[in-house]
Chain A
Amino acid sequence: MHMADALISPAVGVGFWALSLGGIAYSAKKLKDNIEEKMIPIMGILGAFVFAAQMINFTIPATGSSGHLGGGMLLSIILGPYAGFVVMASILTVQALFFADGGLLALGCNIWNLGFYTSFIAYPLIYKPLIKHNKFVFLATLISAVIGLQLGAFSVVLQTYFSGISELPFKTFLLLMQPIHLLIGIVEGVVTYGIVKYVTMSKPEILEHSLGNYSGKVDGTFIKKIVIGFLILTIITGGILSWFASSNPDGLEWSIEKVYGKPELPEKEHTLTNILKSVQEKISIFPDYTFKKDESKDAEAGEEKYPNIDLGTTLSGVFGAFIVLSLTFLTGFILKTIKKKRPS
Chain B
Amino acid sequence: MNFDREFFNLGYLDRLSYKDTIIHNIDARVKVIGAIAYIIAVLSFPKYAVIPLIPFFSFQIFSIIIGEIPISFIIKRIFVVSPFILFIAIFNPFFDRNTAFYLFNIPISYGILSFFSILIKFVLTVSIIIILISTTSFSGLCYAMRCFKVPEIFVNQLLFMYRYIFVLAEEAMRMVRAKELRSFNKKGLELKFYVKLAGNLLIRSLNRAERIYYAMLSRGYNGNMPYNKRKKLGFPDLLFILIILIMIYFFRFLEPVNSMGRFILRLIR
A and B touch in the complex (CB under 8 A): yes
> What residues on B are CB-neighbors of A99 within 8 Å?
6, 9, 77, 80-81
> What residues on B are CB-neighbors of A45 within 8 Å?
160-161, 164, 168, 205-206, 208-209, 212
Taking CB as reference atom, which chain A residue is nearest B256?
A: A320
> What residues on A are CB-neighbors of B221 within 8 Å?
37
Of the residues B103, B133, B223, B260, contact of A320 by C-beta under 8 Å: B260
Of the residues B3, B10, B103, B125, contact of A56 by C-beta under 8 Å: B3
Bitwise interface map of B from 61 to 97 toward A, beta carbon under 8 Å scored 1, else 0: 1101110000000000110110011001101101110
A319–B216 touching, CB < 8 Å: no
> What residues on A are CB-neighbors of B164 within 8 Å?
44-45, 48
Any chain B CB within 8 A of the CB of A236?
no
Query: How far is A167 from B109 in the complex, measured between Cα atoms in Å?
Result: 13
Any chain B CB within 8 A of the CB of A316?
yes
A306–B77 touching, CB < 8 Å: no
> What residues on A are CB-neighbors of B84 within 8 Å?
1-2, 4
Taking CB as reference atom, which chain A residue is nearest B212?
A: A41
Any chain B CB within 8 A of the CB of A297?
yes
B3–A306 touching, CB < 8 Å: no
B57–A325 touching, CB < 8 Å: yes
Q: Known contacts A5-B121, A44-B159; decide if A58 and B261 are in contact (CB<8 Å).
A: no
Of the residues A51, A165, A333, contact of B114 by C-beta under 8 Å: A165
Any chain A CB within 8 A of the CB of B191?
yes
Most buried by B among A169, A198, A199, A297: A198
B206–A40 touching, CB < 8 Å: no
> What residues on B are CB-neighbors of A29 within 8 Å?
151
Bitwise interface map of A from 302 to 338 toward B, beta carbon under 8 Å scored 1, else 0: 0000110111011111111111110111011101100
Any chain A CB within 8 A of the CB of B244?
no
> What residues on A are CB-neighbors of B101 within 8 Å?
309-311, 314
> What residues on B are CB-neighbors of A160 within 8 Å?
88
A202–B10 touching, CB < 8 Å: no
Query: How far is A1 from B43 in the complex, measured between Cα atoms in Å?
Result: 20
Of the residues B10, B39, B118, contact of A103 by C-beta under 8 Å: B39
> What residues on B are CB-neighbors of A318 within 8 Å?
51, 54, 261
Min Cβ gap B84→A in Å is 6
Min Cβ gap A65→B in Å is 10
B111–A53 touching, CB < 8 Å: no
Taking CB as reference atom, which chain A residue is nearest B156?
A: A40
A206–B207 touching, CB < 8 Å: yes
Please tell me which stretch of A188-196, A237-245, A253-261 contacts chain B, meaning at least 4 of its Cβ atoms lie within 8 angstroms of it: A188-196
Given A103-B129, A104-B39, output 4 extra A-B contacts at Cβ < 8 Å: A59-B189, A104-B129, A288-B259, A327-B58
Chain B interface residues (CB < 8 Å from chain A):
1-3, 6-7, 9-10, 13, 21-22, 35-36, 39-40, 43-44, 46-49, 51-52, 54-55, 57-58, 61-62, 64-66, 77-78, 80-81, 84-85, 88-89, 91-92, 94-96, 98, 100-101, 103, 110-111, 113-114, 118-119, 121-122, 125-126, 129-130, 132-133, 138, 141, 150-154, 156-165, 167-169, 171-172, 176, 187-203, 205-209, 212-213, 216, 221-223, 225, 253-262, 264-265
30 CB-based A-B contacts, threshold 8 Å: A4-B84, A6-B43, A6-B121, A7-B88, A24-B150, A24-B154, A32-B153, A44-B163, A48-B163, A48-B205, A53-B198, A55-B7, A56-B194, A57-B189, A59-B188, A105-B36, A105-B40, A167-B92, A167-B94, A195-B198, A198-B199, A203-B203, A206-B203, A289-B256, A300-B48, A316-B258, A317-B52, A318-B51, A320-B256, A336-B66
Chain A interface residues (CB < 8 Å from chain B):
1-2, 4-10, 13-14, 21, 24-25, 28-29, 31-32, 37-38, 40-49, 51-53, 55-61, 66, 69, 86-87, 89-91, 93-94, 96-101, 103-105, 160, 164-169, 172, 187, 190-191, 194-195, 198-199, 202-203, 206-207, 209-210, 269, 272-273, 276-277, 280, 284, 286, 288-289, 294, 297-298, 300-301, 306-307, 309-311, 313-325, 327-329, 331-333, 335-336, 339
